[in-house]
Amino acid sequence: MSWRLLILYLLFTIEIRVHASQVQLPDNCHAGTSGCTIWYRQAKPRFTWFDKAVAVSNGSIVSWVDANNLRLIKGSVGLDLQEGQRLSTILGEITGQGWLVVERLSKKTRVSCFSGQMSLLPLGFKDPLVLSAGFFVDISSVQEDGLAFVEIPQLLSLPSALTFWWQHYRDGKDKFLVQAKEFLAGANLRAETAGQWQETLANRYIASVWEQRRLAAERKLRAEAEGKKMRALFRKMNYLDE
Amino acid sequence: MKRSAIIIFSAILTIGNLAVFWSVRERYSPIDLYKHKNHLLEKKIAALELQRQLDAEQEEQFQQEVAAALPQALQKVTQKNKDYALRNLASVVMRPQKDKLYDLVAKSVFESGKALFRKGEYVQANRLFQKVIDRYGFSTQVIEAHFLLAEGLYQTGELDRTTQVIDQMVELFPDSELTGFALLRLGQIFETRDRFDEAVQIYRMVSRIFPYRSVASQAEKNLRGMEP
């Protein structure tokens, strides 16, 4: 009798823990249901979306705008995005095919692409931006030009990138090893591409500095002309040439 | 034999008692009820916390969407009063735009003062120059505002205040050409007060220190004018 009670007690406790590991709005809604928001509060949480495992970090909040549109509100989400699926955050939307991790950091959203190619449409943009495998990009708040601030895509640094990817991988070790090998195979080419980007950027920066200097010189000339006008005004009004 | 029977009987009795205790414990103990209530409350708190985070997200999303839509809306804005609400919103949402507005307002006040100064309405002009200095101290017009205020005060005969403003200019903008001109005006004030030695000292100092030819030549001209 006591054993039975003990087992019942344990089952009751386990049931409480399972319930408390997720909080849903509306109550008891399910992953993938339109309008459902889930707050994951357990170690290594996951759910299934389009028959594929999606990894979220502990404490993440995700919401389904509709069955095809997943919105990340807090934390991070890692998934193998398929055609027709859309991942959105406060600062824009992501479509495409391939493995990606999206993180909501304190002041920006970071999108890391591990395989395939992603199409990003940051807030205010009319045309999408392309993010290739092996790169990550940070998107921050909308600036005075009405566009979300998108930083230059950067290369995912290798040892830490793989660890990070593995932390968000829920499809098993074997599949991961195959994808990680593909990822490593393209690393040299990506580094070369990133180097070329940096060179172009450096050249652009140098050009912009020269342009800034030219504009500053123009401003100075204008200010001097204003000063001359000012002096002429006072001489005309006979304040100093008395 | 008898002793062992007593021990077995006692053990069975103890186990029986324990079994009865466990079976009735749930019925009479409020612990499980409290646990259940506690669990429900925790669940409610978690749901409220999730709702709070969703509300915060919605608010942030609204801010971002307004910020994204605002530049287009601002392009349509004219300087009419009815657009004040939109411009006010812009000043809150977009800091760089707010800075531009700050400069715009400072320039507008300064230009109004300058126009009055040209008409000879020095009292009103001085009020506006003082406003530029007090409220828009970081604007680009602040040096000229000081200079014109000093001139305006001189014109209205407020020589002590003129001296104070020129002192401020020397303190705040020692390298400015306009400070040189203001010092020349200070020299003239000393002249009007028959403090000729001090006036000469100032003209000499200005011609020596200020690297601007216009200021230096004016100082030398004033010096020559004082020669008997």
Q: Which residue, among A207, A162, A154, has the nearest Cα to A181 in the 3D structure?
A: A162
CA distance B209 to chain A (A): 19
Would you say residue B28 has pLDDT above 90?
Answer: no
Whether A234 and B60 lie within 8 Å, measured CB to CB: no
Residues in A touching B177 (Cβ below 8 Å): 227
Distance from CA of B195 to the nearest CA of A (A): 18
**Cα–chain center distance at B24:** 70
Q: What is the pLDDT of residues B75-127, one digit of tens each?
A: 766 555 555 666 666 655 555 555 667 778 888 899 999 999 999 999 999 99
Residues of chain A below pLDDT 50: 12-19, 234, 237-242
Picking from B50, B53, B179 by the largest number of A CB atoms within 10 A of its own CB, the best residue to mutate is B50
Q: Which residue has the higher pLDDT, B228 or B211?
A: B211
Alpha carbon distance A198, A204 (integer Å) = 10
Under a CB-based contact definition with an 8 Å cutoff, are residues A115 and A134 in contact?
no
Closest C-alpha among B220, B53, B67 to residue A124: B67
Q: Does B6 touch chain A (CB under 8 A)?
A: no
Is residue B145 within 8 Å of B165, Cβ to Cβ?
Answer: no
Q: Pick from A73, A145, A231: which is nearest to B57 by CB? A: A73
Residue B23, chain A, CB below 8 Å: the answer is yes
Average pLDDT, chain B: 82
Question: Residue B38 pLDDT more than 80?
Answer: yes
Across the range B215-220, mean pLDDT stands at 81
Cα–Cα distance measured from residue B180 to residue A231, given in angstroms and rounded to the nearest whole number: 12
CB contact under 8 A, A146 and B67: yes
Exposure string of A119-139, with b = 16+ CB inside 10 Å and e = fewer, is: ebbbbbbeebbebebbbbbbb
pLDDT tens digit sequence for B61-87: 898 988 888 887 777 665 555 556 666
B61 to chain A, closest Cα gap in Å: 6
Query: What chain A residue is nearest to B75 in terms of C-alpha separation?
Result: A145
- Shortest CB distance from A1 goes to which of B22, B70, B71? B22
Average pLDDT over residues B13-40: 83
Tell me, what's the pLDDT at B152? 92
pLDDT at res. A25: 84
Nearest chain B CA: its distance from A46 CA (Å): 18
Closest-CA distance, B3 to chain A, in angstroms, reads 28
Integer CA distances (angstroms), B193 to A46, B153, B167, in order: 88, 16, 17
Whether residue B64 and residue A90 make contact (CB cut-off 8 A), yes or no, is yes
pTM (predicted TM-score):
0.57
Q: Is B139 helix (H, G, I), strand (E, B) or coil?
A: coil
